[in-house]
Amino acid sequence: MIPKRQSYRNLKSLDEAQTIFFSRFKDLPAASEIVSVRLALGRRLVRAVKAVRSTPAYNASAVDGVAVRAASTFAAFPETPVSLAMETEAISVNTGNPLPEGTDAVVMIEKVERVGGRCEVREAVYPWQNVRKMGEDIVKGEIIVPARHVLRPYDLGALLASGVLEVEVFRRPRVLIIPTGTEIISPEEAPDPLPPGKIIEVNGQVLASLASECGAECTLGRPAPDLPEAIKEAILAGIADGYDVVMTIAGSSAGSEDYTPAAFAELGELLVHGVTLMPGKPTLLAAIKDRPVVGIPGYPVSAAVSFREFVRPLLFQIQGQPAPRHPEVEAVLGRKIPSKLGLEEHVRVIVGKIDGRAVAVPLGGGAGMMTSLVRADGILRIPSNVGGYSEGETAPVELLTPESELNNRLLMLGSHDLTIDLLASAVKEASDGRVAVSSSNIGSMGGLLAVGKGIAHFAGSHLLDPDTGDYNRSWLKKYLPGADIALVTLVHRHQGLMTQKGNPKGIRGVGDLARPDVALVNRQAGSGTRILLDYELKKSGIGAASISGYGNEEYTHMGVAMAVTSGRADVGMGILAAARALDLDFIPIARERYDLVIPARFLKDPRIALLLDIIRSDEFRKQVMALGGYEIGETGKIQEIDIQ
């Protein structure tokens, strides 16, 4: 029997879904517990805490010296010291000693000179001078820290000093995470190579870490198979064990094997099935035995968005506080970002500051691209009633990194190359993490235009001039006339056709791409590799329409290599280093120069100077050569250009 395909039940907007969910659980009890002050760092107090004793608990000397009655020193001057009998009129004390009975001040040791059994005081003191008076810091019964205060290291010291050994704090929410799916396997149990159809389960760890950042205690449960009864059993067991929030992963969509919506509905109240949110549309929100249960989508980015919008606020609510707002920055958008009306879209962006303004550039990739979250500096929200943003518009970006770090972030746009990732890592290491390179692969042409518009610190380019055989210079002259540009060679590299190991289709050159049994994977329009391929096709008299897969595009050399490795294509144009990385066969086509296009005004920027120092270092060159497929004879050389 073929399972019946479901449909989303009245998709809700993000605002509607949040209102429904948080209203349903607005009275969710924020439980408390008593913990030792020594273990209370970062915990939120339920109520104000009063001092059990005063601090200091007695009048104490604040300095090393002699304790005296202040009145006995009033006549003292450097020229006419007052002589006092030791241990009766002047009593030796050290810092912190109780003030002897009958005394009310302390003369600093530097102002006292001993003469036999007496001492000469050369400076008068007033009553209670150099004395820490009883209760000067803390008075018994006064409030030390207020209600709802999040305890810091200093607070713990003050509490202990005032005699408070235990405090009542909001209990950490207990969260159960249940991955679902017969096909998933834990990273620790995954064989290599991974069998087709198996998926390594990592969303659970990401969600557990996100919940921990919100102060929750998380349990990552064993995966539940794609069986309705197994899913229901796991949820009910979690609720019976006292978990405050239960999350299931995957199975929340409307496919024929997505059993979670029906399981939620049978066990309790399915509040929301689907949100007009991208990524994150398949989110499920339910109340089961008065506990919040959230069905998290299976795609990594969708899972992160769903957690951010629904689970995160709930976890802070349980701890008696609103969720902290994410810091925002107004950023100029470096590229046009289209969006579908009726959907609120959350776009991952890289962000940096160029000439004093924040610039945001979108990262490519769908909801399954976990690495886009790794690389993202922020999230751009596009409201459901907005059909996207134009290049150059300003919009608020929610930051995933501290705003202070944006000043040390270099934006690199343009062509993809493996050495760029190597360079970015080396820059971060050499700067001890202070300087970072954020990159977006938009092709060589896109990189040149970005530099011209002032939305990139530098670009990567390998644009071939078919008339001269040279790279980049003529394109700079055409698209950036009059601009003051430095063209720095990063590497020479070999481009060619990548095929599966053993070249099963017997491909010998560009001419074979027109064969009906050969499927190509291409690079995106505007990339240097695409321009090179089109140049070679034109030389061979082959039209794009005759090539199967010409419109099948990838944005990186490794993306092309993986498409060939996986069998999605028979052949693709790319660099030798990518072919070697995935053990593919390689048919050389061209040797090309890959340059960095840097506005000359940035050459004195310490970050760019560091970048260039690394490029010219022996260590970087050694690492490049270890990748294979590169030549470093001109690495770091500034090319002569004339773009007037």
Give residue 644's pLDDT: 54
Asked if residue 306 lies in contact with residue 274, where contact means CB atoms within 8 angstroms, the answer is no
CB 447, CB 460: distance < 8 Å: yes
What's the pLDDT at 345?
92
Predicted confidence (pLDDT) per residue in 433-479, tens digit: 999 999 888 889 999 999 999 999 999 999 988 888 889 999 999 99
pLDDT band for position 252 (cuts 50, 70, 90): low
pLDDT tops 80 at residue 91: yes
CA trace torsion 508, 514, 516, 518 (10° rounding): 40
User: pLDDT class for 5, splitting at 50, 70, 90?
Assistant: very low
Return d(Cα 164, Cα 50) in angstroms, integer. 8
Spatial contact of 260 and 11, defined as CB atoms under 8 Å apart: no
pLDDT of 568 strictly over 80: yes
Mean pLDDT of 21-32: 85
Taking 90 as the threshold, does the pLDDT of residue 243 lie above it? Answer: yes
pLDDT at position 182, please?
A: 84
Would you state the pLDDT for residue 63? 95
d(CA 614, CA 426) in angstroms, rounded, equals: 7
**Residue 338, preceding peptide bond in cis (omega within 30° of 0):** no
Q: For residue 327, what is the DSSP state? A: P
pLDDT over 70 (residue 364):
yes
Mean pLDDT of 83-110: 94
Residue 641 pLDDT exceeds 80 = no
Which tokens belong to 2? 């073929």
Residues of the chain with CATH 3.90.105.10: 32-55+137-170
Q: Which residue has the tokens 């399954």?
A: 368
Dmax (CA) for the chain in angstroms is: 114
What is the chain's mean pLDDT, rounded?
91
Query: Can you tell me the mean pLDDT for 52-78?
Result: 93
Position 185 scores a pLDDT of: 85
C-alpha–C-alpha distance, residues 518 and 511, integer Å: 11
3-state secondary structure of 479: helix
> Residue 121: what residue type?
V
CA separation, residue 348 to residues 124, 158, 328 (Å): 69, 43, 14
Fold of 60-132: Molybdopterin biosynthesis moeA protein; domain 3 (2.170.190)
Class of domain 458-639: alpha beta
DSSP letter string over 254-282? SSTT--HHHHHHHHSEEEEE-BSEES-TT
Looking up tokens 């150099």 gives 130
Please indicate whether residue 518 or residue 200 has the higher confidence score (pLDDT). 518
Comparing 535 with 641, which gets the higher pLDDT? 535
Strand 184-185 and strand 174-179: the pairing is unpaired
The closest of 343, 368, 385 to 11, measured between CA atoms, is 343
pLDDT for res 643: 54
> Which pLDDT does position 126 carry in this prediction?
95
Is residue 425 within 8 Å of 453, Cβ to Cβ?
A: no
Return the H-helix or E-strand segment holding 625: helix 618-627
Inform me whether the pLDDT recorded for 105 exceeds 90. yes
Task: Categorize the per-residue pLDDT at 178 as very low, low, confident or very high, splitting at 50, 70 and 90.
Answer: very high
Count Cβ neighbours within 10 Å for each residue of 236-264 and write b for 16 or more, e otherwise.
bebbeeebbbbbbbbbbbeeeebbbbebb
CATH of domain 173-318: 3.40.980.10
* CA of residue 39 relative to chain centroid, distance: 28
Answer yes or no: is pLDDT of 255 > 60: no
Burial grade of 495 (CB within 10 A; 0-12, 13-18, 19 or more): buried
d(CA 60, CA 105): 10
Contact between 264 and 288 under an 8 Å Cβ cutoff? The reply is yes
The closest alpha carbon to 343, from 385, 285, 309, 297, belongs to 385
Q: Domain 32-55+137-170: give its CATH code.
A: 3.90.105.10
- Delimiting residues of CATH 2.170.190.11 domain(s) in the chain: 60-132
pLDDT at site 256: 45
Classify strands 143-145 and 49-50 as parallel, antiparallel or unpaired. Answer: antiparallel
pLDDT band at 92 (very low <50, low <70, confident <90, very high): very high
Residue 213 in contact with residue 284, Cβ under 8 Å? no
**Arithmetic mean of pLDDT, 29-48:** 91
The rounded percent of the chain whose pLDDT value lies above 90 is 72
Rounded Cα gap, residues 200 and 412, in angstroms: 32
Distance CA 455, CA 642 (A): 23
Give whole-number Cα distances, 543 to 285, 465, 535, in Å: 52, 20, 11
